[in-house]
Amino acid sequence: MATGKQRPVKRSASQKGLTPASNPAGPHKTGVGKGGEIHQQSTSSDIYLTTQQGIPVADDQNSLRAGSRGPTLLEDFHFREKIFHFDHERIPERVVHARGYGAHGYFELTKSLSNVTRADIFQRVGEKTEAFVRFSTVAGSKGSFDLARDVRGFAVKLYTKQGNWDLVGNNIPVFFIQDAIKFPDVIHAVKPEPDRGFPQAQSAHDTFWDFISLTPESLHMVMWIMSDRAIPRSFRFMEGFGVHTFRFLDEKGRSTFVKFHWKPKLGLQSVMWNEAVKINGADPDFHRRDLWDAITNGNFPEWELGVQLFDQKFADKFAFDVLDATKLIPEEVLPVQIVGRLVLDRVVDNFFAETEQVAFCTQNIPPGIDFSDDPLLQGRNFSYLDTQLKRLGSPNFTHLPVNAPRCPFAHFQQDGHMAMHNPKGRANYEPNSWGEEGGPRETPSLGFRSFAEPVDGPKQRLRPESFADHYSQARMFYRSQTVPEQKHIADAVVFELSKVEQPHIRERMVAHLLTIDKALGRKVGEGLGLNLPAPAVPAKKPIDAGTSEALSIVARGPGTFAGRKLGILATSGADAKTFKALVSAVEKAGGVCDLVVPKIAGITLSDGTEVAAKQKIDGGPSVLFDAVAVPTSEEGIGPLLKDAPSQDFVRDAFAHCKFIAFTPDAKPLLEMCGITDDVLDEGCIELTPANGAAFVKACGKLRLWDREASIDLDA
């Protein structure tokens, strides 16, 4: 990361290969100037972009900052107006992250960081801090479904002894844009198109891909969104990231850069796209129900908090700018140190009072933690407080229990809607001379202090040259995936672009993909039936960033069935020893069994044991489970052979590469679904009383991805 004199470039992106003719019809065409900057070229009229006050806008791509890598300036009235209006677009739900689900828990410190930060929460090993966590999707409304292909919000409110700390992150460590001034644009592009009001909670439409294909800085994030990371199996099986570079400050004000990671103790897991589509139909609340069931059953979800710590010397030598939110630091380059754990052990008492009214603000940080000059983070710090004021209707939203600090607090802020407490006494201002009756006073020794970073440079709107590489880490992410995961990325892009109506948008996107990875670009182009365009020309030549195993879900699979769910499609008369041995093995491994039956009343096993059912077959498809078993009887299998949902149960499980156990009596059902002896693989295991544990152990792989090559037309 260069820190000396840099050649500032407006919009240092790879749009050099784009031509005005490639832009869809409209009042403006997109042009690209020397150095890679974007500007708007008027077409048939003299319409130009202005503020709401009619002031012409010279640059809508970059916020105003002090120097090319300096902090965003408050005087940027265009940025403030744009974000202000965007924050107030939705009443009453959140503009983004509207569909969320929360739970209470605690954070426990396992390694002291007193050598790098004075933050109270990181001082004493073993100390627990109350926490509230809200998971969410980004693009959909409150009424959308859980399994959208989308970023997942991972927002953690920690009620520390020195004030609330809101670590407001995502399950993806990078973002689409580098500058917060573009946030309204990327969200407008992915939201339902304004003239028709659809599609809901989907990115597979023209406006999203039009914006993305004209914004090469988004390409790294696009690889994550098109990967299995964007369709997680559960909140419990996904990572969380603080996204930005923050600072730790010690007692002497010395700075250490830090990036935050939440790592699930149960490992990562996703679903297949076809599976996600069917889950949304079978149970649109799938993620909500999973978290609720896990906590209420005592299977408390847990994450480890990891930190990447580095100094200015590392930042100067690192190949990418640590202030660029579209970049990450690979764990192989800078290991993640585990310093604590987050446990969710209590569901909310009231969804609206807590999950809906919780207010996260990135600006909420305690002493010992500070911001970097990341322009996206700087803009979020402005935006979140403004959003909460509009959404909750009062500056007193911190009076709500879920938002109130757990430590003592005192200030002179008063009145306003729903003020539940006001300062007492005569003085409501500071300084005052009323002595002890004059209220709270400043505390220089304990109070929050910002890092004393020198700031120098002209006021200007630009991106630093160090932000200009948009392809290297996108390539690194794609090439770090296993073969099945790479296939899923290509399939996802083909699916999404097949929903795009404008051919030039598809072509423009494939040009970017060819620059990221030729094989990926060719596969997507072939999947769309395109004549391959020329690869996009980067503004800055990509470098070989290597690969990172930590970026793959499959490469670091959990190797265990703990926390997973087995769906057992069974009939009365099923062998009791086999059934009970299987259930026992699953529970011993830390998993859960759901019985799926033809009649919700349950079944009677061969020894007369009655077993209650969880699902009726037409309401409990195999997509709801991580693996399946089909223990039936000779008498019970007959009706299933005539039942389409029972056949779908088996057929889908096989198509989704799941492990399947079956008793000999169930084999005719498998054969009816096309799973004959010549296609049976190691993931299909004939069940006996003696091998239930072996089957569950095999299920620790979660999927048999080798099967996919033989059952998928696109393989």
Give the SS3 label for residue 292. helix
Over its C-alpha atoms, the chain yields an Rg (Å, rounded) of 27
Q: Known catalytic residue: 170?
A: yes
Contact 552, 662 (CB under 8 A): no
Q: How far is CA 491 from the centre of its chain?
A: 20
Q: End of a domain among 399, 421, 446?
A: 399
β-pair partners for 38: 32
Which tens digit of pLDDT belongs to each residue from 130-153? Answer: 999 999 999 999 999 999 999 999
The pLDDT-based confidence of 186 (bands split at 50, 70, 90) is: very high
Q: Provide the pLDDT for residue 375.
A: 97
Q: Indicate whether 14 belongs to any domain.
A: no
Q: Is residue 424 part of a domain?
A: no
The count of structural domains within the chain is: 2
Per-residue pLDDT tens for 390-432?
899 888 999 999 999 999 998 988 998 888 888 888 899 989 9
Average pLDDT over the chain, rounded to an integer: 92
**Mean pLDDT score, 310-315:** 98
Is residue 613 a part of any domain in this protein?
A: yes
- C-alpha distance from residue 650 to each of 279, 284, 374, 659, 683 (Å): 15, 21, 50, 11, 13
- pLDDT given for residue 45 in this prediction: 53
Of 373, 399, 425, the position where a domain reaches its end is: 399
Confidence band, pLDDT 50/70/90 cuts, at residue 239:
very high
Active-site residue (options: 62, 170, 280, 691): 170
pLDDT digits (tens, 9 = 90+) for 605-640: 999 999 999 999 999 999 999 999 999 999 999 999
Sole residue written with tokens 């996009």:
536
Picking from 178, 69, 75, the residue whose alpha carbon sits closest to that of residue 455 is: 69
The residue among 399, 425, 446 that closes a domain is 399
> Is the pLDDT confidence value at 344 over 60?
yes
191 domain residue, yes or no: yes
Query: Average pLDDT of 460-473?
Result: 96
**296 part of a folded domain:** yes
**Catalytic position from the list 23, 62, 78, 97:** 97
**Helix 518-528 to helix 483-498 angle, to the nearest 10 degrees?**
40
Q: Give residue 373's domain range.
A: 82-225+232-399
Which residues lie closer than 8 Å to 454 by C-beta, 6 or more apart? none
Asked if residue 153 lies in contact with residue 135, where contact means CB atoms within 8 angstroms, the answer is yes
pLDDT at 91: 62
Q: Measuring CA to CA, which residue among 320, 316, 343, 345 is closest to residue 330?
A: 320
> What are residue 259's DSSP bridge partners?
308
Q: Side-chain half-sphere of 128: how many Cα atoms within 13 Å?
A: 10
For residue 350, the domain's CATH number is: 2.40.180.10
Strand residue runs (E) in 177-282: 240-241, 246-249, 255-264
pLDDT band at 478 (very low <50, low <70, confident <90, very high): very high
Active site residue 28: no
The H-or-E segment that residue 586 falls in is: helix 576-588
Q: How far apart are CA 673 and CA 103, in angstroms?
A: 41
Q: Are 551 and 478 in contact (CB under 8 A)?
A: no
Amino acid of residue 704: L
- Please report, for the domain that includes residue 627, its CATH number: 3.40.50.880
Q: How far apart are CA 234 and CA 228, in angstroms?
A: 12
Spatial CB neighbours of 665, under 8 Å, sequence gap ≥ 6: 632, 633, 634, 636, 637
Structure confidence at residue 87 (pLDDT): 85
Phi-psi region of 298 (alpha: psi -120 to 50; beta: other; left: phi over 0): left
- Report the C-alpha gap between 302 and 294 in whole angstroms: 11
Written as six digits, the tokens of 496 are 């999404």
Is 655 among the domain residues? yes
Q: How far is CA 712 from the centre of its chain?
A: 27
CA 345 distance to own-chain centroid: 22
- Residue 660 in any domain: the answer is yes
Which positions ≥6 away from 339 have C-beta within 8 Å? 109, 110, 111, 113, 122, 305, 306, 307
Q: Which residue, chain included where needed, has tokens 């949304």?
A: 280
426: which 2 tokens?
């005569």
SS3 state of residue 696: helix
Residue 505 counted as domain residue: no
Give residue 54's pLDDT: 81
| pLDDT(113) > 50 | yes
Q: How far apart are CA 495 and CA 276, in angstroms?
A: 14
Measured in degrees and rounded to the nearest 5, phi and psi for residue 357 equal -95, -5
Give the tokens for residue 98: 């509207």
Distance in angstroms (rounded) separating the CA atoms of residues 490 and 522: 10
Note the pLDDT of residue 715.
Answer: 61
